[in-house]
Structure 1
Amino acid sequence: MAMVAARAGVSGQTVSRVVNDSPRVDPETRARVETAMAELDYRPHRAARALRTGRSQTIGLVVTTLATVGNSRMLQATAEAAAERGYALTLVTASNGVAAAFESLAEQEVDGAIVLNEASAQVATVERPRGLRLVVVDAAVDAGFVSVHSDHAGGAAAATAHLLAQGHVAVHHVAGPADSFAAAERERGWRETLVAAGADAPAPVRGDWSAESGYAAGVALDAASAVFCANDQMALGVLRALADSGRRVPEDVAVIGFDDVPDAANYRPPLTTIRQDFAALAHRAVEALVAEIEGGSVAAGPVIVPTSLIERASVR
């Protein structure tokens, strides 16, 4: 840092301000310091900074699996959002439970952690290390942490209302796992919309997020004219089951998914679905966690990210 200061003709304190992105440096001086840093190949020493500030500039991400589309997309989006704020990301799988994952993160002295989806259900039942700041994605509101989630119920309501508007008397539902917050919210939005419209809510057929379980559900729903699936992968299985039985989509059966995975536009037919904004979800989660870490304003209630209906050819 002293060498950078000498090359740029400034004080060591000014270099420190540039490194820490302080607004108290005029643009010309900042550019001169950054040029000196580049010429000397200077990199801030993370361990030294942690000793000085008491923060490691690292956050943890806890997942149970990366096999699901939502979790893998959230991993990428969270890594990008953290990097934009100058934080590194440490990934921990909860294969031995969330409590063990928290202990691992505490040993690595992360500043805080984000817990994703399936792992979120375990958070309320375990004791986390003292001082570990926490943001949970897809969890019921709890006083001990900030909750961030997509508007699952609102998206499901939009999908169901869209099918009812096409003249379908009954809308069947391929639901996600019973212990999933997101699945429960999507089922709630579907059910409440049917009740409000005076329509019966058929018993949902439950899957496990996989296309295979969607195929089994599609076989079971041999009399349905409209199906709302809790995710796009299960919708893919439903489409195959309908094709195998000789039923056409959308002529005989209308199908809507949830997530808007990158391949959804290339399903046959292209899938009408509810889009989750994974980038916005990750940014809001990182934003909430950094606010806790750095003493900023923390959300008083759940942070809910809007969803949107994407119309394609699987619904007339």
Structure 2
Amino acid sequence: MTPDRAPGVPTVGSLAAGRPRSAPSIADVAALAGVSAQTVSRVSTGHASVRPQTRQRVVDAMEQIGYSPNSAARALKYGSFSTIGVIAHRLARTGESRTVEAVVEAARTQGYTVSLVDLDSPSSDDMTAAVTRLSHQAIDGLIIIRAETGSPENLVLPPRLPVVVSDSRFVGHHPAVATDQADGTRQAIEHLLGLGHRTVHHVAGPEGSSPARQRIEAWQHALAAAGRSVPEPLIGNWDAKSGYECGQRIALDREITAVFCGNDQMALGVNRALYERGLTVPGDVSVVGFDNIPESEYFWPPLTTVSQDFHLIGERLVDLLVRQIRDEAVLTDSRTLLPVQLVVRASTGAPRN
């Protein structure tokens, strides 16, 4: 048992006497609190074996001599760094940026700041390196916006670190929040078929992307369920440029009357390519997007699209993480599937006879 005060413990004045003034060290905290440096280290990492009275004495010593007047000291006192780590993949993309914005807002409401790492490559090695970097910055928990090519089996995470992922592949490994990609796609395809189109072509997101794969599979299933032919998808890269390139190919085939795009930016590129070829939307080709970005209602024509609530995604991610941090809730099998809604605007209509 650690004594309350070791004999001959120096005071703040005696610590500073006889040597140049320097930043307080862990040894200074240990000496003033009458404990070992190991005990100070255990308190700083939240080790459960430290008695509450000893923890408080270490905290008081830190505050008295001004040791680590930052997140480390705050963690000693309150058992939390009040910081959430966030890993995103290509933050410039609309879904990621809007989700991160919502996470930051929700975290602030809960009393947390956010430390963000934006990855160009979503490989498991890069993801693991980002987690390690964030762990060294003293975080209470981690939100992974999208792991993309990472997988639950090869993503290395610190033990006992609360984690939540915006990716349904991690269900059973980490709590997950996802939107109903399949239902949103089904709504889009049924809308176009209901207008009289014989089939629907698809401009998909990049290979290796989990949302792109889910939307391709749902598009194929919806057409097959309706007894319609399933064309080969055109592969884009989530940006308007790739949509424009796919749109140039679509414009050459006058049999195509309806296109479902994997996101709104690619739909914008498709629209331009069609107009440059003298085709109209929706007169010649109906176009549907996905995401319902704020600009989509100001496209010409205003874009029919599937609306995802990115604000709600961010809120749910933070809520699941905070429950793990504060309540020590075990939520490994938790999966939150958020609904989506088709927003019908002027870019879709019945095909010409």
Report the equivalent of 2:214: 185
Q: How does 1:33-182 map to 2 (within 5 A)?
A: 46-95=71-120, 97-117=126-146, 119-124=147-152, 125-182=154-211
Structural RMSD (CA):
1.7
Distance 1:274 1:95, change over 3 A: closer
User: What is the distance in 1 between the residues matched to 2:102 and 2:294?
Assistant: 14
User: What is the distance in 1 between the residues matched to 2:247 and 2:257?
Assistant: 11
Tell me if 1:283 matches 2:315: yes
SS at match of 1:173: strand
Q: Which of residues 259, 265, 271 is equivalent to 2:291?
A: 259
AA aligned to 2:277 is: S
User: What is the distance in 2 between the residues matched to 1:93 and 1:278?
Assistant: 18
User: What is the distance in 1 between the residues matched to 2:70 and 2:213?
Assistant: 45
Structure 1 unaligned spans of 5+: 1-43
Taking structure 1 as the reference length, the TM-score comes to 0.82
User: What is the distance in 2 between the residues matched to 1:69 and 1:303?
Assistant: 21
How far off its partner does 1:282 sit? 0.7
User: What is the distance in 1 between the residues matched to 2:198 and 2:148?
Assistant: 36
Tell me if 1:250 matches 2:278: no
User: What is the distance in 2 between the residues matched to 1:218 and 1:256?
Assistant: 13
Greater than 6 Å deviation, 4+ residue runs: none
- Percent identity between matched residues is 42
User: What is the distance in 2 between the residues matched to 1:226 and 1:250?
Assistant: 9
Q: How does 1:162-311 map to 2 (within 5 A)?
A: 162-222=191-251, 223=253, 224-294=256-326, 295-296=328-329, 298=331, 300-311=333-344
Tell me if structure 2 keeps the 8 A contact 1:121–1:139. no
The structure that has the greater radius of gyration is 2
User: What is the distance in 1 between the residues matched to 2:221 and 2:334?
Assistant: 23
Tell me if structure 2 keeps the 8 A contact 1:64–1:95. yes
User: What is the distance in 1 between the residues matched to 2:149 and 2:314?
Assistant: 18
SS at match of 1:304: strand
User: What is the distance in 2 between the residues matched to 1:141 and 1:92?
Assistant: 20
AA aligned to 1:57 is: S
1:73-97 C-alpha deviation (Å, 9 max, x unpaired): 1111110011111111110123471
Corresponding pairs, count:
272
How far off its partner does 1:314 sit? 0.0
How far off its partner does 1:143 sit? 2.5
Distance 1:262 1:289, change over 3 A: same
